[in-house]
């Protein structure tokens, strides 16, 4: 899972790319990069947080009114500067690309690139394969033609080839020197990609494409909607917009975006994340009353911040006091997207401080967005017990996560998923809580789809139900993918 943004503007684009990355920081903390262009590319990449990488001096050096940027959460490749996006190549003309998602058949495509086409891959990430596939479709003498309609047709053929060759999840922004800004999304629409426009005083329009709408209001963009599954969008040098759905399959966006990754003020696939989480809490509270009608807590406390919204509606539905009894240090990153269990456990105590007045001698119900590995949840429960809780109940807004994700969430191995090999009762004992309740899958789907004029046909919930929407992934292939990701982590 990463954050991507592409902007076409009538003004220098670098400051707005920077602001966008700040708004997408929650989607990746390991690295970030920016690329702007006019008649050449200007780049800056670095490891760490956005504010640590870029300076005001960088904004001056990143020339041009068009550019793309990326904030990285590694789900493929290593942790080296060469794996930081955007990536670019110089031929034909100059193409740059930033990608959110994961390619399931990356290894096969990369092998073909190196052994059959004799290309050198500079990174260990799947995004570079996408870049070469895009360039292959444009490596034609007709590429230099100035007829924009003809070029859009040529671009469409290249994207169609990508759709036919690539398995997995991919939302992409790209810039092509002398041509314009490109955005496209895989035919299932697994990873989000939203679009906005801004009207200038002279009647011209600027465009933005991003993983979330978080920066739209601050930058003055209005939401146009989503890049559709299998759609290609192109903004040429003069700001003319071209759109075409190249190939569409069953629309199956990732439901974990609504559970955890997206910021609550985002709107994805015509559905508000905040409203979805309110309904998650409400559905979960209704389930609690059904399963434990005689066990009411004294206080409902969220595991901040992703769970705050669900906990608020959970408490309201039960008629129990809501309290932010765990204070979160906002300068510590998201523990789920840290690279290993040791860092996650260590940072829980750095990140969270229990408030004794809200916990001591009380029956505390903790609301978390999900239980993935269980290590973070167990540490939180231990802290709450140390501060004198009489009893601890634990509820999860998400159903049990039993299967690895190969589409962009860094949980590639079934061995590390606590619900894959333990019953709910065994998980309760491991967490050391008095009662444990998970959200039902049907209730989660209803919570997300309860409002909004969406066109979602089916959610990608492979991590919960084992159904991989972008082709069946056999058990042997799952093992290979998991082993490769574990090896990459070991090199970190």
Tokens of 53: 């990488």
DSSP strand pairing (326-328 vs 271-272): unpaired
Please state, in angstroms and rounded to a whole number, the distance separating the CA atoms of residues 84 and 72. 7
Beta-carbon contacts of residue 211 (< 8 Å; ≥ 6 apart): 2, 3, 4, 5, 24, 27, 100, 171, 191, 192, 193, 194
Q: What is the DSSP string of 249-317?
A: -----BTHIIIIIS-TT-EETTEEHHHHHHHHHHHHHHHHHHH-TT---SEEEE-TTTTHHHHHHHHHH
* In the block, residue with structure tokens 């009893």: 391
Tokens of 179: 């041509």
Beta-carbon contacts of residue 56 (< 8 Å; ≥ 6 apart): none
Which listed residue (2, 37, 254, 405) is catalytic? Answer: 2
Distance from first CA to last CA of the chain, Å, rounded? 17
254 is known as an active-site residue? no
Tokens of 68: 């793309």
Is the Cα torsion angle 216, 309, 350, 403 positive or negative in sign?
negative
In 3D space, the residue among 1, 4, 8 whose CA is nearest the CA of residue 233 turns out to be: 8
In 3D space, the residue among 189, 205, 280 whose CA is nearest the CA of residue 240 turns out to be: 205
Q: Residue 430 in contact with residue 378, Cβ under 8 Å?
A: yes
In 3D space, the residue among 2, 57, 65, 56 whose CA is nearest the CA of residue 33 turns out to be: 2
CA distances from 26 to 262, 266, 330 (A): 8, 12, 11
Helix (H, G, I), strand (E, B) or coil at 53: helix
CA distances from 274 to 161, 281, 288, 468 (A): 37, 11, 21, 26
Q: What is the DSSP string of 19-49?
A: HHHHHTGGG--SEEEEEEESSSEEEEEEES-
- The catalytic residues are 2
């Amino acid at each position: 899972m990463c954050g991507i943004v592409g902007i076409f503007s009538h003004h220098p684009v670098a400051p707005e790319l920077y602001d966008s990355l700040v708004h997408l920081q929650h989607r990746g903390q390991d690295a970030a990069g920016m690329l702007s262009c006019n008649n050449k590319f200007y780049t800056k990449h670095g490891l760490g947080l956005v504010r640590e990488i870029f300076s005001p001096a960088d904004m001056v050096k990143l020339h041009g009114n068009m550019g793309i940027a990326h904030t990285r959460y590694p789900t493929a490749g290593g942790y080296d500067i060469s794996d930081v996006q955007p990536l670019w190549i110089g031929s034909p003309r100059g193409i740059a690309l930033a990608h959110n998602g994961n390619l399931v058949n990356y290894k096969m495509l990369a092998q073909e690139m190196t052994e059959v086409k004799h290309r050198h891959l500079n990174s260990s990430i799947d995004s570079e394969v996408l870049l070469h596939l895009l360039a292959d479709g444009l490596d034609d003498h007709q590429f230099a033609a100035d007829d924009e309609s003809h070029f859009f047709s040529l671009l469409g053929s290249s994207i169609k080839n990508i759709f036919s060759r690539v398995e997995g999840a991919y939302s992409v922004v790209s810039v092509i020197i002398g041509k314009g800004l490109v955005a496209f999304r895989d035919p299932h629409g697994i990873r989000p990609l939203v679009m906005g426009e801004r009207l200038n005083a002279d009647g011209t329009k600027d465009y933005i494409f991003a993983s979330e709408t978080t920066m739209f209001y601050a930058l003055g963009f209005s939401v146009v909607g989503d890049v559709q599954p299998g759609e290609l969008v192109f903004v040429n040098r003069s700001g003319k917009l071209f759109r075409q759905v190249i190939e569409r399959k069953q629309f199956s966006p990732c439901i974990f975006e609504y559970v955890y990754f997206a910021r609550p003020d985002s709107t994805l696939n015509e559905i508000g994340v905040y409203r979805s989480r309110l309904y998650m809490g409400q559905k979960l509270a209704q389930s609690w009353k059904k399963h434990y009608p005689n066990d009411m807590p004294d206080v409902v406390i969220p595991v901040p911040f992703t769970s705050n919204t669900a906990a608020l509606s959970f408490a309201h539905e039960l008629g129990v006091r809501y309290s932010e009894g765990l204070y979160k240090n906002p300068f510590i990153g998201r523990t789920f997207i840290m690279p290993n269990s040791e860092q996650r456990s260590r940072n829980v105590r750095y990140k969270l401080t229990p408030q004794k007045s809200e916990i001591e001698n009380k029956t505390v119900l903790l609301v978390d967005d999900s239980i993935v590995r269980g290590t973070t949840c167990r540490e939180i429960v231990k802290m709450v017990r140390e501060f004198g809780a009489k009893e601890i109940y634990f509820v999860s807004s998400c159903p049990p996560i039993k299967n690895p994700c190969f589409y962009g969430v860094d949980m590639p191995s079934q061995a590390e998923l606590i619900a894959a090999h333990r019953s709910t009762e065994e998980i309760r004992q491991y967490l050391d809580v008095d009662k444990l309740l998970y959200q039902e899958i049907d209730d989660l789907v209803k919570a997300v789809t309860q409002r909004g004029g969406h066109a979602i046909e089916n959610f990608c919930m492979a991590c919960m139900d084992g159904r991989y929407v972008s082709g069946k992934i056999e058990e042997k292939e799952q093992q290979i993918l998991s082993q490769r990701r574990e090896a990459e982590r070991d090199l970190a």
